Amino acid sequence: MYDICLSENLHVGAPRYLVGALSKVLIQGGNDPVLSWEELEKRCHGCTRCGLAKTRTNVVIGRGSKTAPVMLIGEGPGEQEDLQGKPFVGAAGQLLDLLLSALMFKEDDYYICNIVKCRPPGNRIPTDDEAESCLPWLRNQTLLIRPRIMVCLGATAMKYIIDRSAKISQIRGQWIERKGFWIMPTFHPAALLRDISKKPLMFEDMKKVKLKLDELRSPQ
């Protein structure tokens, strides 16, 4: 089993208050069988686990390489994502693509998805019930992709993947590692559109991700 349970034995840059406080989130607690991509996508498109199914235009599963070493996880689809059925295609997504390109990431280096796969009305933050209803799909995606690095884009991804009580401004840019699996919390690119001062900070965080990726690929 691909073990990325995030509840114990954490180190490498994680603040002391995080150790032992990380959420179960992705793999821990999931007893459902691992679905193939075809079956996963079929079930996601027919999902009615929460009320977001009533207001969505499209289910937004993900984009990028399905064997990527880096998995980037945001909050949820916005208006353009809901219309097109793809994550991060609006202004924030375009900024993220520019950042990845500037740091010389290749398209097969990453896979992009969200905590929830349906747009919350008015782009509001997903509720706990909505997020927890969708997390089994994210667990399944993670097991299929088997990334080495996970990037939490913003507070919502950080909440469900790292720690429900942490603040993104306090832990961004710090590596969290368990059994060779690396997690980097950083800002959501939409935050950069609202506050330009965050751009160099996110750039430095993503630079760390690229350096870690290169390190993991280097012969030992």
Conformational region of residue 88, where left means phi above 0, alpha means psi within -120 to 50, and beta covers everything else: left
CB 61 within 8 A of CB 43: no
- Residues 91-149 have pLDDT tens digits of 999 999 999 999 999 999 999 999 999 999 999 999 999 999 999 999 999 999 999 99
Note whether residue 70 is domain-resident. Answer: yes
Note whether residue 1 is domain-resident. Answer: no
Structure token digits, residue 118: 């349906």
73-96: average pLDDT: 97
Residue 139, domain CATH: 3.40.470.10
SS3 category, 56: coil
User: What is the domain extent for residue 116?
Assistant: 16-214
Note whether residue 28 is domain-resident. Answer: yes
pTM value?
0.88
Radius of gyration of the chain (CA): 16
Note whether residue 3 is domain-resident. Answer: no
Note whether residue 123 is domain-resident. Answer: yes
Number of domains in the chain: 1
Note whether residue 33 is domain-resident. Answer: yes
Residue 63 sits at the vertex; the CA angle it makes with 28 and 187, to the nearest 5 degrees, is: 70
- Residues 55-66 have pLDDT tens digits of 999 999 999 999
Q: Is 210 exposed, middle or buried (0-12, 13-18, 19+ CB in 10 A)?
A: middle
Note whether residue 86 is domain-resident. Answer: yes
Note whether residue 183 is domain-resident. Answer: yes
Number of Cβ atoms within 10 Å of the Cβ of 31: 5
